Amino acid sequence: MADKEQVIQALRATLISVKGALTIKQCNRDYRELQGEWIPFKKLGYSSLDKLFLDVPGFKVTQANGEWYVDAIASQETQHIAAMVSRQKSSKRAPKLSYPNRFPKKQGSWRKPSSGYASNYNSQYSNQYYRAKGSTPFNNNTQHYKTNKYNSSKSNETKLTANVKQTTKTVNDHVDKILKSSNSSQSLRESNNTHNEELKQQVQRSNNDMDVKVSTKVSASQRLSNLRDRLNTVDLIPLQLPAANNECLVGGSYSVSSYPDSSPSEDLAKEVGAVKLLSAIESSEAGGKPTSSSSNAIINLTELVSEHEAGLWAFTVPHLYREKYQENLPSNWQELVENCPKIIKDRLFNGQLVLLPNKEEMPIPPLETTIYDDSMDSDLPPLQFPDDDFWNVFVTVANSTLEIWLRIIGSQYSDTFENLLLEMAKYYEHAGSPVVKSMLIKNAWYAVNLDDGGWQRAKILEIEEDSATVFLGDHGDDDVVYINKIKILEPQFRKLPAQAILCRLEGAEELAASTLGAELVRRRLPGEVLVAAPGPRHDPTDPSVAVVLFDTSTQRDLNLNKEIIHDFCIAGAFTITQKPCEVEVGCVTEEGRVWVSRAGGAGLVQAALALLTAGPYRRPLPAAPQAPAPNATTLYIVRTLAGDWVRCTIISGLDGEGTVRTQLVDSGLILRAPLSSLVPLQSFSPALNAFPPQAVSVRLGPAERAAGGMVPRLRELLLGARVLCRALPAAGGAAAGGAPVAPHVELFVRTGPQNILASVNNAILMEYDYLQHGKLKENENNTTNHVEALHKKKERIFRSLSTAGEERTSSGSVLPPPPLPAPGKCFDVYIAMAANPWNFVVQPNSTRHTLQTMMSTLQTECPKLTELDAPVNPVSGELYTVYYDKDASWYRVTIAGTVSSEMVSVYFCDYGDLALFATKALRPVPPGAPLARSLPPQAIKARLYDVWPLHQDWTVEDCIRFQELCVEQQFVGICKDVGKDPLNPNEPLLTLDLIDTSTDEDIYINKQLVTEGRARLASTS
């Protein structure tokens, strides 16, 4: 049906043509036979069919034996039909039709009935004038008008022939009258203008074809049937003649006439006049008074009804309301009453409605209201794209390169859409069916009133308490609207497809993985009128269209896809200035070289590559290169052990095993990878190939001389931390050959419980100097302290006789040196930690049980100490304990150096780590742990015997592999040499040949590394 009024008129036509009331199910069945569909009550905003009949005036609804019965209340225009139907003789059975149902099924156009239908028609109609019922479909069946008291047995074919032209003219006149008639709520509303024009054209065409030869032997009814065939219409309602008019006069103030509405009898004409008179009186009373708002109306109605315990007739309510409140009720007051729990609606058998006050306590409705989740059959038709290679478009929304919404400009698209908005604004300003929360259906289309956009078509996405999240199908964006601003989307507004088209920028999809790309798109595209070149759609399940956008407003057409990529690359350039900026440290090489990148830069590239290598926007990977590119700056992508794709360059030639060394341009790490695993980036993603490298090598200024010797400390401070970086004033310059040198910078990190911002450069330089010169200074400072020297001497000589009472808790003590093996002797060890084959820490396996006993004692005794026991001025080399929160354990530490008056650098003497702690975090060795004062340090630095890296330094893979082989494992070590640690000459350094004896065949770790191609033997070089 076209709209709600046509549905109501079709229902009235169905019910008036039947003698007696029908059940709602029977009415629904007959409607389907007539119209080809069930009664669309849900589209009209009703949750059930009975609520439709109860709400719409003009229907009489009763309930008997658990069934709802419905009948149409005849209006002045349908009284003659109702009277005719009521006089039908029920005892006389009509001849059986050839149709299997009560009504013929809906057809696209009228078809000539069968012979049985023609004979039945002869018994119904004679030479009367006819007029079309404006709101009834033209293919309605008229078989139920079985008798007509106005049939004239004296009618003949001559009279019919003489009146044929007059008949067609009368049809045309009455159509015009009906279309102009809208005086009362019971009258027919305005019909579809297009339908009316088609009927007029059909009638006029029939006037031109009236010179047909009529045989004198053909009956009048047969000739009328032929005329109906020519007019191509069926639903002609007999206009009863002679017609009667009536004029009413009341008190000299009101005078009305039933004219131009003709009636078949004087009584019916009086009734028509009375209805018009009542309408005139009511309208005169309503004039000049304001109309109540919906909220005030429902409050006042509740009060008005509560004053009448016996109830009020519904038709008296408007008059009583005006007298009491001096306001008019809104036009939808009956709908407000229907939803008011404080008013009971009682419909009597005669169809009259009585309003009663509800004095019972209404149950509080549950918070969760039943919400239908159904796409219905009301989805808008799909949009048909133009066949052109280029579209003129208007960009409505641009959230990223993967989500761009646009509308096509053209007469069939934007022009039609603008007309639709005008029609919606005009219609919903005074009409439309509002909805309540329980009526809303997810994924269904409605009309919503936006504060800044007027009435728009929208699909319900989510439903909240008093609002709903909707998708504006003609714009592409989401919005939140209040439920009281939502109305039923009428059928005439559902014909046009949703105009917003989801698109993505072809060749720039990877930019959607970053906020930078999204910002560029949002700044450049919304509100622009552009030309779009759509690409082929390879995936039918993908709703988006790949497009290339062009700006043709300038002399040179701009490819906006390339322009956005160009802006993206410019914005991604990373430079270091004297203004502090946040950076990420990608790696610290063994030489102490630090690589920094812009915060989030490496993650941006990694996320973009993840988008292109997995998911719906995955691109095929190009073939690997046959040989390294001659250009050293050629970019590739390679997959790491963690499964992430990263950008890299090749920094070495191809070795005998088909592998090359690569450097990751966004972190600085060096990896060895098979050449066959590299993917050329230029052919895979031109956008990421043009994106600048994010990693920059930097130098630490004056601290550069200490960086090579403080690599573990640098990694501890910088890797995984939030780092601030600023260029030093003397940074910059170029090498002698013109190549740029690494800039000198100062790095800052936040350390300690107070989150203090500390200079990494100063800390490294200070710790390095303390490690180099701390022992000498300590000896000089302690030469005059004879009492302390004597005590230490006694402790070394008489250690076995010392007791717990002799231990000092006021200051730290010095541990005895660890026992070291002689060269050539076996030394069973446990690897506590390892950086690479030249830098690892071992613990003597013979004293591991003693170490574990001491550690257990520390966990019990150290918590008994408080911050008051912390040393005031700790000195390098002194022994203390400290709580390490990362593994929630207490450890022995020695002071490695003083960073500030409140911060010290400590060395975990049993495990080989360095860390920074606040001075107040230190605790003396507890008296209850004497073993902690006597057990020598268990951490001994060592290096692997007879191995060298294949190249200048150990690669990251080599270091990881060595850690996998050795850390937390026991070995038999053969001591080859006992030397001094180059970073701290006071510490020993063992050169060990590690042997794994846990298998049937002994495994030499140095030879294992050589076998795996990670090292070479120094003895054979």
Residues in the chain: 1021
Strands (E), 719-836: 723-727, 745-751, 756-759, 826-836
Distance CA 510, CA 608 (A): 5
Residue 257 · residue 281 · CB < 8 Å: no
Instruction: Report the candidate in 844, 816, 815 with the shortest Cα–Cα distance to residue 992.
Output: 844
Q: Count Cβ atoms below 10 Å from residue 570 Cβ, excluding itself.
A: 12
499 domain residue, yes or no: yes
Together in a domain, 222 and 253: no
Together in a domain, 895 and 979: yes
906 domain residue, yes or no: yes
Cis peptide before 260 (omega within 30 of 0): yes
Instruction: Report the candidate in 614, 612, 598, 600 with the shortest Cα–Cα distance to residue 687.
Output: 612
Put simply, whether the predicted model's pTM sits higher than 0.85 gets the answer no
Domain of residue 860 covers: 785-1011
Together in a domain, 839 and 982: yes
491 domain residue, yes or no: yes
Distance CA 740, CA 696 (A): 12
In whole angstroms, how large is the CA radius of gyration of the chain? 48
State how far the alpha carbon of 323 is from the alpha carbons of 132, 302, 330, 579, in Å: 42, 16, 15, 78
Torsion angles phi and psi, residue 939, rounded to 5: -85, 120
Strands (E), 219-298: 236-238, 247-250, 254-257
Split into its structural domains, the chain has a count of 6
Per-residue confidence (pLDDT) for residue 102, from 0 to 100:
29
740 domain residue, yes or no: no
Q: At what angle do helices 220-231 and 164-180 cross, to 10 degrees?
A: 50
842 domain residue, yes or no: yes
Together in a domain, 626 and 690: yes
Together in a domain, 516 and 579: no
Together in a domain, 18 and 136: yes
Together in a domain, 397 and 494: yes
Per-residue confidence (pLDDT) for residue 794, from 0 to 100:
57
371 domain residue, yes or no: no
Domain boundary pick from 357, 374, 404: 357
Instruction: Report the candidate in 824, 846, 799 with the shortest Cα–Cα distance to residue 940.
Output: 846
14 domain residue, yes or no: yes
Domain boundary pick from 238, 256, 271: 238
Using CB atoms within 10 Å of the CB of residue 154, give its burial: 0 to 12 exposed, 13 to 18 middle, 19+ buried.
Answer: exposed
Together in a domain, 215 and 280: no
Together in a domain, 869 and 802: yes
321 domain residue, yes or no: yes
Per-residue confidence (pLDDT) for residue 555, from 0 to 100:
86
Distance CA 792, CA 815 (A): 10
**Amino acid at residue number 763:** A
- Here the CATH number for the domain that contains residue 987 is 2.40.50.90
- Here the CATH number for the domain that contains residue 428 is 2.30.30.140
Per-residue confidence (pLDDT) for residue 973, from 0 to 100:
94
Residue 976 · residue 991 · CB < 8 Å: yes
Domain boundary pick from 691, 711, 734: 734
| Lookup: tokens for 814 | 């010095």
Together in a domain, 59 and 142: yes
Distance CA 585, CA 723 (A): 8
Distance CA 784, CA 1011 (A): 57
Together in a domain, 874 and 997: yes
Q: DSSP alpha helices (H): ranges in 798-919?
A: 848-861
- Here the CATH number for the domain that contains residue 55 is 3.30.420.610
**Amino acid at residue number 146:** K
Residue 408 · residue 487 · CB < 8 Å: no
Distance CA 998, CA 984 (A): 34
Together in a domain, 615 and 723: yes
Greatest alpha-carbon span in the chain: 154
265 secondary structure, DSSP code: S
Average pLDDT by stretches of 10, the chain with 1021 residues:
74 74 82 81 81 82 79 65 51 38 33 37 34 37 38 37 39 40 36 45 48 47 65 51 59 62 74 72 59 79 86 84 86 82 74 78 45 53 90 94 94 92 92 87 92 91 92 93 92 92 93 91 93 84 89 90 93 89 91 90 92 87 87 90 91 84 92 90 93 92 87 89 87 48 89 80 85 60 56 54 40 77 92 92 90 91 91 90 90 90 90 90 91 92 92 87 92 93 83 91 92 89 64
